[in-house]
Chain A
Amino acid sequence: MNHLPTPADHADGFLRFDAVSRVYGSGPTSVRALGPITLDIHAGELVAIMGPSGSGKTTLLSLAGALDKPTQGRVLLHGSELSALSPDDCSRLRRQTVGFVFQDLNLLPGLTALENVALPLELDGVAQIEAHDQAREALQGVQLLELADRFPENLSGGEQQRVAIARAFVGQRSLLLADEPTGALDSVTGEIIMQLLRDHCGRGKTAVVATHNSAHAAWADRVLFLRDGELINESN
């Protein structure tokens, strides 16, 4: 059985794309969505990915989060090859190590902010009291503890994204993958979200964020430019 990656497995090259390609379909109608790309993302880094629609940003995030498998090459997290993980280990990885944030529809409407953040821990078997304690700590990290008992519909778009970030990093989760997390927000609120991600990465978490907004991307340590599935430039 494949063991689940832990931080001790690989001190550097936290997330590695080793000659990774993703091709959809086969034969003359096949479409190359990504690659081949080789890329190292280090623990504690905030990396932004920019590029036009269809450039491969979402494919890259899906591969990094083990939601998809490469056609060629290897994606390694903490030194473990994701496509070699069993389905159970993949699910566990997504509960314990990786958090996702999307443009919207991040939170379950019937749960409070606290319950939303605690959910991945409880699904992973953590007792409710302990899960809620860790969720409160995560909400504190996004300066939203005072709104812990509110339901998503009573939170602004920016507050909902902050709850989603808290959930993505709750407990021992160390990698956040975000697809246009500021896309539905005004410019200033978007900057607050990027600043929060910046702060979390300063405390050792790692985040990869796809965005169309250059001012938001500029909060990252590195900005990767994709075009037609290829990495064309890198700014740092």
Chain B
Amino acid sequence: MSIRHGILAILAEQPAHGYWLKSHFEEYTAGMWPLNVGQVYSTLARLERDGMVEPVGEDDAGRQAWRITPAGRAALRAWYDTPVATGEARDELAIKVLLAIAGKRADAGRIIDNQRLATMQKLQQFTRVKKDTGADSDLAWVLLLDLLTARLEAEINWLDRCEQRLKGAGR
């Protein structure tokens, strides 16, 4: 994705200037994608060119504010309505394990063991952060932690499955 839809999503709530868009995008997405203001302004310029936002004058501090247009709202709605393409197979870990299994020179079992250890260490780190995250913590942050730990858990499950299938295949 580009940050176009992120900016449109925030402008759909209220008109805003560039710095406000940057800081609120980062807050709403738990800081997972830090932006620089220049990137926000260049995106606003492209959105204006495409008829999706328009300037609404300056605020008291002299900063240019923007609002979303009907075309921008339609583009945003289409984005929300379209499922994200997930389940991409191309993944460095998958490629490494599959090549090791296909060849004879690498020890696939050792690669699986090493990766499982590294992934578990990462999962423990995130779980410690989760433990220290109180009930009154920012919901965006809690949900992002849930996503990150779920992905790590899925990776360990896949590595376990690889090990079982290799064993079943007598490798």
* Chain A residues within 8 Å of B, Cβ to Cβ: 52, 195, 198, 213-215, 217-220, 223, 225, 232-233, 235-236
Known: A52-B160, A198-B131, A215-B149. A233 touches B121 (CB 8 A): no
CB distance from A140 to the nearest CB of B (A): 19
A198 cross-chain contacts in B, Cβ below 8 A:
131
B113 cross-chain contacts in A, Cβ below 8 A:
225, 232-233
Known: A52-B163, A218-B149. A223 touches B120 (CB 8 A): yes
Q: Are B124 and A223 in contact (CB under 8 A)?
A: yes
Residue of A218, A223, A236 ringed by the most chain B CB atoms within 10 A: A218
Known: A52-B160, A52-B163, A195-B131. A214 touches B123 (CB 8 A): yes
Q: How far is the CA of A198 from the CA of B128 in the complex (A)?
A: 10
5 additional A-B pairs beyond A214-B153, A217-B120, A235-B117, beta carbons within 8 Å, are A215-B153, A218-B126, A235-B120, A235-B121, A235-B124
CB distance from A57 to the nearest CB of B (A): 14
Contact with A along B45-84 (1 / 0, CB 8 A): 0000000000000000000000000000000000000000
Q: Interface size (B, Cβ < 8 Å)?
A: 19
Q: Give chain B interface residues in 101-130, CB to chain A under 8 Å.
A: 113, 116-117, 120-121, 123-124, 126-127
- Cβ of B23 within 8 Å of any chain A Cβ, yes or no, is no
Q: Are A219 and B127 in contact (CB under 8 A)?
A: yes
Q: How far is the CA of A37 from the CA of B122 in the complex (A)?
A: 26
Q: How far is the CA of A212 from the CA of B124 in the complex (A)?
A: 15
- Cβ of B156 within 8 Å of any chain A Cβ, yes or no, is yes
Cross-chain contact of B124 among A52, A213, A218 (Cβ < 8 A): A218
Q: How far is the CA of A233 from the CA of B112 in the complex (A)?
A: 12
Q: Are A225 and B117 in contact (CB under 8 A)?
A: yes
Q: How far is the CA of A220 from the CA of B124 in the complex (A)?
A: 8
Q: Which partner residue on chain B sits nearest A51 by CB separation? A: B160
Q: How far is the CA of A217 from the CA of B131 in the complex (A)?
A: 13
B116 cross-chain contacts in A, Cβ below 8 A:
225, 233
- Cβ of B164 within 8 Å of any chain A Cβ, yes or no, is yes
CB distance from A178 to the nearest CB of B (A): 17
Q: Which partner residue on chain B sits nearest A198 by CB separation? A: B131
- Cβ of B39 within 8 Å of any chain A Cβ, yes or no, is no
Q: How far is the CA of A218 from the CA of B122 in the complex (A)?
A: 9
Q: How far is the CA of A236 from the CA of B163 in the complex (A)?
A: 22
